[in-house]
Protein backbone atom coordinates (compact mmCIF):
# COMPACT_ATOMS: atom_id res chain seq x y z
CA UNK A 1 0.00 0.00 0.00
CA UNK A 2 1.26 3.49 -0.80
CA UNK A 3 0.46 6.60 1.22
CA UNK A 4 3.14 8.89 -0.22
CA UNK A 5 0.61 11.45 -1.45
CA UNK A 6 -0.94 11.94 1.98
CA UNK A 7 0.19 14.50 4.57
CA UNK A 8 2.64 12.83 7.00
CA UNK A 9 0.22 12.56 9.91
CA UNK A 10 -2.50 11.03 7.69
CA UNK A 11 0.00 8.65 6.10
CA UNK A 12 1.12 7.40 9.50
CA UNK A 13 -2.45 6.79 10.64
CA UNK A 14 -3.39 5.17 7.34
CA UNK A 15 -0.47 2.77 7.66
CA UNK A 16 -1.49 1.90 11.20
CA UNK A 17 -5.09 1.24 10.15
CA UNK A 18 -3.95 -0.90 7.22
CA UNK A 19 -2.03 -3.07 9.65
CA UNK A 20 -5.00 -3.27 12.01
CA UNK A 21 -7.32 -4.14 9.14
CA UNK A 22 -5.20 -7.12 8.20
CA UNK A 23 -3.25 -5.71 5.28
CA UNK A 24 -0.11 -7.05 6.92
CA UNK A 25 -0.18 -10.41 8.62
CA UNK A 26 2.12 -11.00 11.55
CA UNK A 27 3.11 -14.61 11.88
CA UNK A 28 4.79 -16.12 14.93
CA UNK A 29 8.39 -17.13 14.49
CA UNK A 30 8.84 -20.83 14.04
CA UNK A 31 10.84 -22.71 16.58
CA UNK A 32 10.93 -22.73 20.36
CA UNK A 33 11.22 -19.86 22.81
CA UNK A 34 12.67 -16.39 22.55
CA UNK A 35 15.91 -17.70 21.12
CA UNK A 36 14.13 -19.05 18.09
CA UNK A 37 12.36 -15.71 17.64
CA UNK A 38 15.62 -13.82 17.85
CA UNK A 39 17.20 -16.20 15.37
CA UNK A 40 14.34 -15.60 12.97
CA UNK A 41 14.89 -11.88 12.83
CA UNK A 42 16.30 -10.68 9.57
CA UNK A 43 15.10 -13.82 7.79
CA UNK A 44 11.60 -12.67 6.85
CA UNK A 45 10.08 -13.99 10.07
CA UNK A 46 8.01 -11.72 12.32
CA UNK A 47 7.45 -11.76 16.04
CA UNK A 48 3.79 -12.08 17.02
CA UNK A 49 2.29 -9.15 18.97
CA UNK A 50 -0.07 -10.16 21.77
CA UNK A 51 -3.59 -8.71 22.27
CA UNK A 52 -3.70 -5.35 24.03
CA UNK A 53 -4.07 -5.27 27.80
CA UNK A 54 -7.71 -4.69 28.83
CA UNK A 55 -7.17 -4.16 32.55
CA UNK A 56 -7.99 -0.43 32.28
CA UNK A 57 -11.53 -1.11 31.03
CA UNK A 58 -14.30 -0.79 33.63
CA UNK A 59 -17.90 -1.95 33.38
CA UNK A 60 -20.52 0.81 33.10
CA UNK A 61 -23.51 -1.56 33.20
CA UNK A 62 -23.92 -3.61 36.37
CA UNK A 63 -25.83 -6.43 34.66
CA UNK A 64 -28.76 -6.08 37.09
CA UNK A 65 -30.32 -2.65 36.73
CA UNK A 66 -30.37 0.58 34.74
CA UNK A 67 -28.37 2.39 37.42
CA UNK A 68 -26.52 5.33 35.79
CA UNK A 69 -28.62 4.83 32.65
CA UNK A 70 -31.63 6.97 31.75
CA UNK A 71 -34.35 6.25 29.21
CA UNK A 72 -38.04 5.66 28.63
CA UNK A 73 -38.83 2.50 30.62
CA UNK A 74 -41.76 1.91 28.31
CA UNK A 75 -39.12 0.59 25.91
CA UNK A 76 -36.02 -0.20 28.02
CA UNK A 77 -35.47 -2.92 30.62
CA UNK A 78 -32.86 -5.29 32.02
CA UNK A 79 -33.44 -8.98 31.46
CA UNK A 80 -31.10 -11.89 32.28
CA UNK A 81 -28.07 -9.59 32.63
CA UNK A 82 -28.78 -7.78 29.35
CA UNK A 83 -30.00 -4.27 28.50
CA UNK A 84 -33.03 -4.73 26.25
CA UNK A 85 -34.68 -2.06 24.11
CA UNK A 86 -37.77 -3.19 22.23
CA UNK A 87 -40.60 -1.81 20.13
CA UNK A 88 -43.62 -3.47 18.59
CA UNK A 89 -45.88 -2.46 15.75
CA UNK A 90 -48.36 -1.11 18.29
CA UNK A 91 -45.83 0.38 20.75
CA UNK A 92 -43.63 3.01 19.12
CA UNK A 93 -41.69 6.03 20.41
CA UNK A 94 -42.62 9.46 19.04
CA UNK A 95 -39.11 9.65 17.49
CA UNK A 96 -35.83 7.77 17.80
CA UNK A 97 -35.32 7.35 21.53
CA UNK A 98 -32.13 6.58 23.45
CA UNK A 99 -30.97 4.98 26.67
CA UNK A 100 -28.38 7.49 27.93
CA UNK A 101 -25.44 6.75 30.23
CA UNK A 102 -25.30 9.47 32.89
CA UNK A 103 -21.94 8.47 34.34
CA UNK A 104 -19.89 11.04 32.45
CA UNK A 105 -19.10 12.77 29.18
CA UNK A 106 -15.90 11.04 28.02
CA UNK A 107 -13.63 12.78 25.53
CA UNK A 108 -10.78 10.38 24.64
CA UNK A 109 -11.85 6.81 25.34
CA UNK A 110 -12.38 3.26 24.16
CA UNK A 111 -15.81 1.65 24.46
CA UNK A 112 -16.53 -2.05 24.06
CA UNK A 113 -19.98 -3.65 24.00
CA UNK A 114 -21.55 -6.90 22.93
CA UNK A 115 -24.82 -6.46 21.06
CA UNK A 116 -27.49 -8.47 19.29
CA UNK A 117 -29.95 -6.76 16.96
CA UNK A 118 -33.24 -8.32 15.89
CA UNK A 119 -34.98 -6.32 13.19
CA UNK A 120 -34.62 -2.83 11.73
CA UNK A 121 -32.04 -0.33 13.01
CA UNK A 122 -30.05 0.77 16.07
CA UNK A 123 -26.67 2.21 17.02
CA UNK A 124 -24.23 3.12 19.79
CA UNK A 125 -24.16 6.86 20.34
CA UNK A 126 -20.99 8.61 21.59
CA UNK A 127 -19.56 12.14 21.99
CA UNK A 128 -23.19 13.20 21.76
CA UNK A 129 -25.56 15.75 23.29
CA UNK A 130 -29.13 15.37 24.44
CA UNK A 131 -31.59 17.64 22.64
CA UNK A 132 -32.95 20.22 25.09
CA UNK A 133 -36.48 20.17 23.69
CA UNK A 134 -36.95 16.41 23.12
CA UNK A 135 -36.48 14.06 26.06
CA UNK A 136 -34.13 11.11 25.45
CA UNK A 137 -33.25 12.29 21.94
CA UNK A 138 -29.56 12.56 21.02
CA UNK A 139 -27.37 14.25 18.44
CA UNK A 140 -23.83 13.19 17.60
CA UNK A 141 -21.60 10.38 16.40
CA UNK A 142 -23.08 6.91 16.07
CA UNK A 143 -21.67 3.45 15.50
CA UNK A 144 -24.49 2.48 13.16
CA UNK A 145 -26.08 -0.96 12.86
CA UNK A 146 -29.07 -2.47 11.09
CA UNK A 147 -30.56 -5.92 10.63
CA UNK A 148 -29.91 -5.97 6.87
CA UNK A 149 -26.21 -5.08 7.51
CA UNK A 150 -26.43 -2.28 4.98
CA UNK A 151 -25.21 0.37 7.41
CA UNK A 152 -23.60 -1.73 10.15
CA UNK A 153 -20.05 -0.61 10.87
CA UNK A 154 -20.32 2.90 9.44
CA UNK A 155 -19.77 6.19 11.29
CA UNK A 156 -22.99 8.18 11.20
CA UNK A 157 -23.93 11.51 12.77
CA UNK A 158 -27.45 11.42 14.23
CA UNK A 159 -29.37 14.66 13.58
CA UNK A 160 -26.23 16.12 12.04
CA UNK A 161 -24.10 15.59 8.95
CA UNK A 162 -25.37 12.07 8.32
CA UNK A 163 -22.95 9.63 6.67
CA UNK A 164 -19.35 10.38 7.70
CA UNK A 165 -17.53 7.12 6.86
CA UNK A 166 -19.15 4.10 5.25
CA UNK A 167 -18.07 0.57 6.06
CA UNK A 168 -14.62 0.01 4.61
CA UNK A 169 -13.78 3.72 4.38
CA UNK A 170 -11.13 5.91 6.02
CA UNK A 171 -12.33 9.50 5.60
CA UNK A 172 -11.26 13.04 6.45
CA UNK A 173 -13.53 16.01 7.16
CA UNK A 174 -12.14 19.53 6.99
CA UNK A 175 -13.81 22.57 8.46
CA UNK A 176 -17.16 23.19 6.82
CA UNK A 177 -16.58 20.44 4.25
CA UNK A 178 -18.14 17.07 3.57
CA UNK A 179 -15.95 14.06 4.39
CA UNK A 180 -13.64 12.82 1.64
CA UNK A 181 -12.15 9.36 1.24
CA UNK A 182 -8.49 9.03 2.28
CA UNK A 183 -8.14 5.28 1.83
CA UNK A 184 -9.76 1.86 2.04
CA UNK A 185 -10.00 -0.46 5.03
CA UNK A 186 -11.31 -3.31 2.89
CA UNK A 187 -14.20 -4.23 0.63
CA UNK A 188 -17.56 -3.39 2.23
CA UNK A 189 -19.14 -6.69 1.17
CA UNK A 190 -16.20 -8.72 2.49
CA UNK A 191 -16.35 -6.86 5.81
CA UNK A 192 -20.08 -7.52 5.92
CA UNK A 193 -19.36 -11.26 6.08
CA UNK A 194 -17.76 -10.73 9.51
CA UNK A 195 -20.99 -9.36 10.98
CA UNK A 196 -23.33 -11.83 12.68
CA UNK A 197 -27.05 -11.51 12.00
CA UNK A 198 -29.41 -12.34 14.90
CA UNK A 199 -26.38 -13.22 17.03
CA UNK A 200 -23.93 -11.47 19.34
CA UNK A 201 -21.33 -9.10 17.89
CA UNK A 202 -18.40 -7.35 19.57
CA UNK A 203 -18.36 -3.60 18.91
CA UNK A 204 -15.32 -1.45 19.76
CA UNK A 205 -15.19 2.35 19.43
CA UNK A 206 -11.95 4.32 19.77
CA UNK A 207 -12.22 8.11 20.08
CA UNK A 208 -8.98 10.01 20.46
CA UNK A 209 -8.63 13.72 19.77
CA UNK A 210 -10.09 14.21 16.27
CA UNK A 211 -9.79 10.54 15.26
CA UNK A 212 -12.64 8.02 15.44
CA UNK A 213 -12.17 4.30 14.75
CA UNK A 214 -14.91 1.67 14.80
CA UNK A 215 -14.32 -2.08 14.90
CA UNK A 216 -16.64 -5.07 14.78
CA UNK A 217 -15.61 -8.56 15.79
CA UNK A 218 -11.96 -7.51 15.84
CA UNK A 219 -11.87 -5.87 12.40
CA UNK A 220 -11.62 -2.15 11.61
CA UNK A 221 -14.83 -1.20 9.82
CA UNK A 222 -14.58 2.58 9.47
CA UNK A 223 -12.42 5.52 10.47
CA UNK A 224 -12.77 9.30 10.45
CA UNK A 225 -10.43 12.19 11.15
CA UNK A 226 -12.81 15.04 11.91
CA UNK A 227 -11.18 18.48 11.72
CA UNK A 228 -14.53 20.24 11.31
CA UNK A 229 -14.36 22.50 14.38
CA UNK A 230 -17.91 23.73 13.87
CA UNK A 231 -19.65 20.36 13.63
CA UNK A 232 -17.19 17.98 15.30
CA UNK A 233 -17.57 16.94 18.94
CA UNK A 234 -14.61 16.24 21.27
CA UNK A 235 -16.57 14.94 24.27
CA UNK A 236 -20.12 13.94 25.09
CA UNK A 237 -22.69 11.40 26.15
CA UNK A 238 -22.88 7.68 25.39
CA UNK A 239 -26.21 6.10 24.50
CA UNK A 240 -28.01 3.25 22.78
CA UNK A 241 -30.53 3.93 20.02
CA UNK A 242 -34.02 2.52 19.65
CA UNK A 243 -35.25 3.46 16.18
CA UNK A 244 -38.82 4.42 15.41
CA UNK A 245 -40.31 2.27 12.63
CA UNK A 246 -40.69 -1.49 12.15
CA UNK A 247 -40.70 -3.63 15.28
CA UNK A 248 -37.18 -4.25 16.61
CA UNK A 249 -35.15 -5.43 19.58
CA UNK A 250 -31.65 -4.37 20.59
CA UNK A 251 -29.80 -6.29 23.32
CA UNK A 252 -26.56 -5.02 24.86
CA UNK A 253 -24.27 -6.57 27.47
CA UNK A 254 -20.70 -6.39 28.74
CA UNK A 255 -20.49 -2.59 28.35
CA UNK A 256 -16.91 -1.52 29.19
CA UNK A 257 -15.23 1.88 29.07
CA UNK A 258 -11.59 2.96 29.20
CA UNK A 259 -10.86 6.68 29.40
CA UNK A 260 -7.59 7.82 27.84
Could you report the per-residue pLDDT of 4-35, keeping only the tens digit for each?
455 545 555 555 555 444 443 344 444 444 44
Do 248 and 106 form a contact (C-beta atoms < 8 A)? no
CB atoms within 10 A of CB 171: 21
Instruction: Examine the domain organization and report whether 34 and 147 are in the same domain.
Output: no
Domain shared by 37 and 120, yes or no: no
Residue-number span of the structural domain to which 75 is assigned: 53-259
Instruction: Identify whether residues 105 and 224 lie together within a single domain.
Output: yes
Report pLDDT digits (tens) over 55-85: 999 999 999 999 999 999 999 999 999 999 9
Regarding whether 134 and 78 lie in a shared domain, the answer is yes
Q: Please compute the mean of the pLDDT values over residues 113-118 and round it to a whole number.
A: 98
- Is the domain of 209 the same as that of 255? yes
The CATH number given to whatever domain includes residue 145 is 2.60.120.560
25 and 87 inside one domain = no
Question: Which among 258, 237, 257 has a CA at the least distance from the CA of 70?
Answer: 237
Nearest-CA neighbor of 204 among 120, 113, 138?
113
Lowest-pLDDT choice from 20-24, 134-138, 192-196, 217-221: 20-24
Question: What confidence category does residue 92 fall into, taking pLDDT thresholds of 50, 70 and 90?
Answer: very high
User: Which of 9, 27, 50 is a domain's end point?
Assistant: 50
| 208 shares its domain with 250 | yes
pLDDT of 220: 98
For residues 91 and 25, membership in a common domain is answered with no
pLDDT per residue as tens digits for the range 154-177: 999 999 999 999 999 999 999 989
Alpha carbon separation from 21 to 15, 86, 166, 236 (Å, rounded):
10, 33, 15, 27
Q: Note whether 224 and 172 are within 8 A (CB).
A: yes
Amino acid sequence: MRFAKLPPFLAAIALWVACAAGAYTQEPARGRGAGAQEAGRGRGMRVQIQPADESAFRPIFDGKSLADWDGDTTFWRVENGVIVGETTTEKQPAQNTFLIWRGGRPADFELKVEYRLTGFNSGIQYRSVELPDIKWAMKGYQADMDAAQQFTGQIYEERGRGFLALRGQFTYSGEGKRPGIVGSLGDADELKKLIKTDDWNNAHVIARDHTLIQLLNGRVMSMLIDDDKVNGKWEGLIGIQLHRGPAMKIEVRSVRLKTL
